[in-house]
Structure 1
């Protein structure tokens, strides 16, 4: 018996040993397939592995995943194949749903449009339904992951029998899959979308969720003309009619989405669905509060639709007076004239039928008394006048108080209607309201510790904010000088150094402070840095390129010297938020350099000279102190402070010739900037700065690149406003064709020191006519700042505008919007001074200027409010015309206001 037992034990040990060999072979084959990037082989290799073996494989997968991250630059295709295999193997090796979802949702592993999802789904065979449902839910909850893992999530949902995950990412993947199926199977003549949706069991959940999405998938926004068979609104409405989609749920979801507002593009799908479903009056009555909300805060097309629906209910007599009054107040507060006119018409019809509703409706109508359009004010006043007898004394008093918001042109009619009109601010002389003169804020010191500095460097947007950028750069230089090794270790831990070592990474951009960081850790060859330090712009370079070149040269100079005794700290770090440097502070910095036996870095000193404040007693004292330093840098600073215009520039516009082709020239193409000749700049400044001495050709500047870094332009020249204006003019004129965020440097321009000339006036004029509303608003802010500082030449700006409006470079409606915004701040006199110089040339133009009536309306409002008088050349000829066009009506109004103002002035 003992012998038999021993033999049995030996056999068992042999069997286990044999099994271990087989298991080891299976693990090796699987890991080999993954390492070879053979993702399609992975599911079959997983079938023979048990839990313990899969855990062994999982450890190998994690190690390989880390290894592959370093292949991207040298072996990108191989890395992509291995990541795909890792994705599939990880799906089958993770025993826990949370860990599996984390693996499958990894940023480096997520597939593109479900590529690799089919084998990953096969790899999950054998997992419990609960595991599959948990993983599907976790992946669906992550938008970017769900969109690209749609096929895997759908497979897990179908196998587990769990609820369909209604998430934005999953719907995006679903929509893409439907579009891809049509393209793959039927190309352009694919199956109708309706058929696809009808046969998909997940449609009832996903189609309704698609209606609620904040950002609609592209396919949902296609029109019938673009793809009749793929028109989602039509298909959804049809399914509602067939009962496949719940009618009430679809209507509620569409209304709710429209009520939230957003981009018109994203609202197109729910709006079209609602139109095609055609809710009944009873269904709309259940949703009146939502419809009223739409009229208040949604984009114009949505508000117009809601207004149309509510108007139908009001016409039928089913809309309550309270709801109509609330709707009226909401619509009449909007700026769209079409909606306001339609609402006034609707209220007029209702009041004609129900006079008793006047007490509730007329106070809402009085909202229009404060509208910027005097024609709409007049319509509202007439409507109130027709039904004023139907209200009691308290409502009449409320309306009389609102009448104080009316433009002076309606004052006589208001007095006739209400008697003495309560008018805010009446009884005293006109007083111009301008913003307080902005004072530049001091720039704080850099971070005091390496840890705090690294936090600043990692903060989002540090390179986009000039003040934060300069503080971070100065802190980097200071800490590198004190403890280069410690700072280098911290930078290596916080940043991905390999990115800076990629070929051509810094060829076209310094990437903010990263250039200096790369120099600190030795990620860039010194020969390459030296080549950047000798860069000088070509004679035909664009002004954006040369401005950015100054900033980049400073960064590469810092990269070359950082951590050495040659750069203990930066001379050019601003002391004020405008980018300027206090002259006494710069003298002290140079004294510290002298005492340490350090010669200033050329680009750092050059930028410091451009930034130092050169006016006032402080500059005079600093010049003497600088000279007393008895160093070359001190003498340069003293001379610079005593020079009236160390840099200067001017601008001119080429005249259009008779040649037909040249008539098509835009302002952008005709703008010529000239940098004045300054020998000292060309001889003493580094190559990147010499264009400020006049080395650029005086020709129209051409820009064929994406404009970036505009926020740093003003701090480069904070004491030379006219030169800065010359530099930003090309981008401003180019923006007349629709580019955005071009007027960002205007804030710095307005706050800059130095004189202003034609370039400043032309920059303001062009920006006031910008196509983007936000850019125009920045221009208004700059104009008001200059006005508050007493440095606005309103006449010169107006004359530039007159030429631009007459030739068509600036559209009157855009200028009118900017002028209206300026006036609304209380600066009616400033606005009129601007328009008084703008209008004469446009009024006498050979070809009538389209839209000039809107500009005349703003001018008339300004004159009526500030009491200006006198004559305006060319106005009589237009005001004497016949007809009721806005041009003639507003010209007559302006002439009357000027005559009244002149009469009041004579009486005084």
Structure 2
């Protein structure tokens, strides 16, 4: 036994089998106790001993697995993660060590290993050998199936098929391919599995019905298109017979209605064959058509309309069942599909009863105004003209967001402790700036009243926090609230806080400087509760946007004067940056501040009446280098540089002064890839233009680098104060072109809020979009999707004005970018519905007439003609009204 332990400690893997075989049962049991102790020691070895640890772990796996007496313990030891490196388990050697056990024991170990999700796949060779030795039933776990697929895939060419054909387990494992929780990886990329399974079914090794039913069941189960590609391809290779297709009619109907587009397209093909063969009753065709025509994929809707046309030609008597479902297309966003459905109704309208004709005529109100003449031709006197008449257009915008006031300070110590505990322990509480500001103010207030009582009440809240017993915690690892609490409990000394506040740090980007301000202010507040308790914080926001009411700030300064106290330097500076400088009450507050007769009152009065601001930013096109591992060329981006602001450099504390220096985005590196934090936004809630310029790269990365989550700050910008100038609109344009739908929806919300507040310059936004498309930052189809969503809320006039600003740039070169047809279709719809406010005929969109005069029936040309016609009609109506 001692010799075995020495061999294992030295990592001499080759010598382990012989020494294990030389031990009897008692010797193995005694050795196992030592091996367990050694295993525990190895876990504590550092990375510097990685090579030695790798060899010792390998030896431990073999020796310990062979010395185990129970099947459960053996399986647990063999599958242990701490005994495995990146190398394959030496299963041949291990099987040789276990081969002297009885078959029941080997079968138990095999099935236990197969049931382990984390390791069964990689342990497939070992499990298979154990199954062969024991003669037990093959495991059917997901992991074992994945390992089997990997092993067969590695057997290239004909050898793989021969292995499948001769493997007695193939008939048992093939059905599991369709039942595993995830699709086996190799099925998604290997080209050999589909033909191999078809061959096996032809040879009778696998029942053909198992393959067909398995594929259909897996497609019905749903999932990502990439995961379903193998099963769809296998169905095509199987070439189902008409009988097999008829037996599964209900399945094809379900797939056509709900499956991903490629699968639904295949189901449509099968249903079309059934319809033409007379195997699908009109009632079932109407049922599935109602679902398919509601899908967003235009290709599927178009194919279903073609199928309905064929069915009606083949069986005119089915018009009563089929025509009513066509009315669902009358409200489709694609006017070409509306026209196709309307013409199809017109061809067969005489075949339905009067009641159905009336219902179809009533549904014509959903049609685009461009089809009013055709609808009149189709329905004639049945058409209720009032339904199609366009009354005065009314723009629908969201209600103005009401600023939400912060709750008053906690009245009792128990309320404050509960609030602080929620912030210290809540997973997402740290992102709520309003809650943190409220809690910070409460801590300062109660520390001013009775610091010892506050500390005593807070102590139970931190007993399970990592810094509870740490008397020198890293200050950068503590949130603002945690820092103040730790200071109150004696974990942070005044000297460390003083050093942290005075420390000068330079950051290469504005995001780091914004973070530093929030950090220093929290450190200053923590120092204040120890060395000179403040009655409250001046910069606590009044509203959820982070803004401070000017009259309220004057009242806070008046209380400081009454108590004969000087405000904390950073707290007062942050209050100035947060105070609302425009709107009702600002002028009166300035006068009241001047009458305080204090230095801070005079500074507030000058701040409220001063005209110095960041001013307009400088627009620049810069190149963003790709990552070092990428071969892609640099990306061009439009960015905004910000000028200097001298008042910040001269009159504000050192931590604020970098915000007043000029900033060129092309000369500053930035490591911030995540979304803008709420703390950044709360530093300058009344300067959204400069915030937009500094945070613009985050939104740009969502458009051209396909990052996710970088547009979140747009909502706060839309609700913030200050000018909504070029930087705000440029950031919004990037958001409308973001890669991910959720990011575009955030931008749509911001667009509508800006429009509702009267802050949106639609023309500027449209020009920005066209320019971003021109340099490749934004793709047309993404912007079209976002603007279509905005228009769908009822903001057709707003969206038209944005598109009117974008179209001249998109059409300027004569060869519009791909996807412009979608933009033109949306513009035409918005112009028809809103009357194209402000348009003066086709002159409103230079290049439109030339595009519409081209030959052809592409979406680009057809929609250009449609928009041109809508603009001409709008101009004529305007002329008539003026006359």
The 5 Å alignment of 1:875-886 reads 875-886=848-859
Give, in whole Å, the separation in 2 of the partners of 1:174 and 1:537.
57
When structure 1 is superposed on structure 2, of 359-368 and 30-39 the one drifting more is 30-39
When structure 1 is superposed on structure 2, of 802-811 and 739-748 the one drifting more is 802-811
1:464 deviates by 5.8
**For 1:710, which of 651, 665, 676 is the aligned residue?**
676
Aligned to 2:373: 412
Give the gaps of 5 or more residues in structure 2.
624-631
The 5 Å alignment of 1:177-192 reads 177=151, 192=159
Q: SS at 2:296's partner residue? A: coil
**For 2:826, which of 854, 858, 882 is the aligned residue?**
858
User: Could you state the TM-score of these two structures normalised by the residue count of structure 1?
Assistant: 0.78
Q: SS at 1:348's partner residue? A: helix
Distance 1:718 1:202, change over 3 A: farther
When structure 1 is superposed on structure 2, of 129-138 and 303-312 the one drifting more is 129-138
Distance 1:383 1:666, change over 3 A: farther
Q: Does 1:248 align with 2:209?
A: yes
Aligned to 1:357: 318
Q: For 1:835-884, what per-residue CA distance to the aligned partner results, in whole angstroms no more than 9, with x for missing partners?
A: 22222344444554544333222111112112235322423444444544
CA contact (8 A) 1:403 1:421 kept: no
Q: Does 1:370 align with 2:331?
A: yes
**For 2:224, which of 263, 282, 288 is the aligned residue?**
263
Q: SS at 1:254's partner residue? A: helix
Aligned to 2:20: 44
Q: Does 1:671 align with 2:638?
A: yes
The 5 Å alignment of 1:797-808 reads 797-805=765-773
Give, in whole Å, the separation in 2 of the partners of 1:318 and 1:637.
82
CA contact (8 A) 1:333 1:367 kept: yes
Aligned to 2:784: 816
Q: SS at 1:653's partner residue? A: strand
Aligned to 2:840: 870
Give, in whole Å, the separation in 1 of the partners of 2:321 and 2:108.
56
1:351 deviates by 1.1
CA contact (8 A) 2:362 2:383 kept: no
Distance 1:737 1:802, change over 3 A: closer
1:500 deviates by 14
Give, in whole Å, the separation in 1 of the partners of 2:406 and 2:114.
47
User: Could you state the TM-score of these two structures normalised by the residue count of structure 2?
Assistant: 0.80
Distance 1:327 1:615, change over 3 A: same
1:751 deviates by 1.7
Give, in whole Å, the separation in 2 of the partners of 1:158 and 1:516.
66
CA contact (8 A) 1:812 1:851 kept: yes
Q: For 1:359-379, what per-residue CA distance to the aligned partner results, in whole angstroms no more than 9, with x for missing partners?
A: 222222222111111111101
Aligned to 1:755: 723
Aligned to 1:5: none
CA contact (8 A) 1:39 1:119 kept: no
1:747 deviates by 1.6
Give, in whole Å, the separation in 2 of the partners of 1:625 and 1:128.
95
**For 2:393, which of 411, 430, 434 is the aligned residue?**
430
The 5 Å alignment of 1:154-553 reads 154=128, 163-177=137-151, 192-213=159-180, 215-222=182-189, 224=191, 231-418=192-379, 419-421=382-384, 428-441=391-404, 457=424, 459-462=426-429, 493-495=464-466, 534=503, 536-537=505-506, 541-547=508-514, 550=517
Give, in whole Å, the separation in 2 of the partners of 1:476 and 1:130.
67
CA contact (8 A) 2:800 2:827 kept: yes
Give, in whole Å, the separation in 2 of the partners of 1:177 and 1:319.
44
Q: For 1:415-459, what per-residue CA distance to the aligned partner results, in whole angstroms no more than 9, with x for missing partners?
A: 232232487696742211112222344567899687986675555
Distance 1:199 1:893, change over 3 A: same
The 5 Å alignment of 1:621-636 reads none
Q: For 1:814-854, what per-residue CA distance to the aligned partner results, in whole angstroms no more than 9, with x for missing partners?
A: 33222222111111111112222222344444554544333
1:603 deviates by 5.9
Distance 1:796 1:491, change over 3 A: same
**For 1:691, which of 655, 658, 670 is the aligned residue?**
658
1:248 deviates by 1.8
1:755 deviates by 1.2
Give, in whole Å, the separation in 1 of the partners of 2:422 and 2:27.
44
Give, in whole Å, the separation in 2 of the partners of 1:138 and 1:630.
82
Aligned to 2:867: 894
1:492 deviates by 7.5
The RMSD of aligned alpha carbons is 5.1
Q: Does 1:834 align with 2:802?
A: yes
CA contact (8 A) 2:32 2:67 kept: no
1:83 deviates by 6.2
Give, in whole Å, the separation in 1 of the partners of 2:789 and 2:618.
28
CA contact (8 A) 1:529 1:560 kept: no
Q: SS at 1:700's partner residue? A: helix
Q: For 1:722-750, what per-residue CA distance to the aligned partner results, in whole angstroms no more than 9, with x for missing partners?
A: 11211222333344324132322212221
Aligned to 1:660: none
Q: SS at 2:640's partner residue? A: strand
Aligned to 1:681: 648
Give, in whole Å, the separation in 1 of the partners of 2:739 and 2:620.
21
Q: For 1:752-771, what per-residue CA distance to the aligned partner results, in whole angstroms no more than 9, with x for missing partners?
A: 22111111122222332334
When structure 1 is superposed on structure 2, of 698-707 and 774-783 the one drifting more is 698-707
Give, in whole Å, the separation in 1 of the partners of 2:109 and 2:559.
64
CA contact (8 A) 1:72 1:79 kept: no
1:321 deviates by 2.2
1:116 deviates by 6.7
Aligned to 1:17: none
CA contact (8 A) 2:10 2:56 kept: yes
Give, in whole Å, the separation in 1 of the partners of 2:204 and 2:255.
28
1:79 deviates by 6.0
Q: SS at 1:245's partner residue? A: coil
1:617 deviates by 4.5
Q: SS at 1:652's partner residue? A: strand
CA contact (8 A) 1:114 1:150 kept: no
Distance 1:104 1:223, change over 3 A: closer
Distance 1:375 1:214, change over 3 A: farther
Q: SS at 1:318's partner residue? A: coil
The 5 Å alignment of 1:539-578 reads 541-547=508-514, 550=517, 557=523, 576-578=543-545
CA contact (8 A) 1:198 1:239 kept: yes
Distance 1:652 1:156, change over 3 A: same
Q: For 1:247-272, what per-residue CA distance to the aligned partner results, in whole angstroms no more than 9, with x for missing partners?
A: 22222222222223322221222122
When structure 1 is superposed on structure 2, of 879-888 and 601-610 the one drifting more is 601-610
Distance 1:558 1:532, change over 3 A: closer
Q: For 1:768-809, what per-residue CA distance to the aligned partner results, in whole angstroms no more than 9, with x for missing partners?
A: 233433332222111011112222111221233344445665
Give, in whole Å, the separation in 1 of the partners of 2:845 and 2:618.
27
Give, in whole Å, the separation in 1 of the partners of 2:815 and 2:61.
68
Give, in whole Å, the separation in 1 of the partners of 2:100 and 2:682.
64
Q: For 1:455-498, what per-residue CA distance to the aligned partner results, in whole angstroms no more than 9, with x for missing partners?
A: 75555455566667777888999999877799789767454999
Q: For 1:557-603, what per-residue CA distance to the aligned partner results, in whole angstroms no more than 9, with x for missing partners?
A: 48996995579897766564434455677678888999999987766
Q: SS at 1:671's partner residue? A: strand
**For 2:693, which of 720, 726, 734 is the aligned residue?**
726
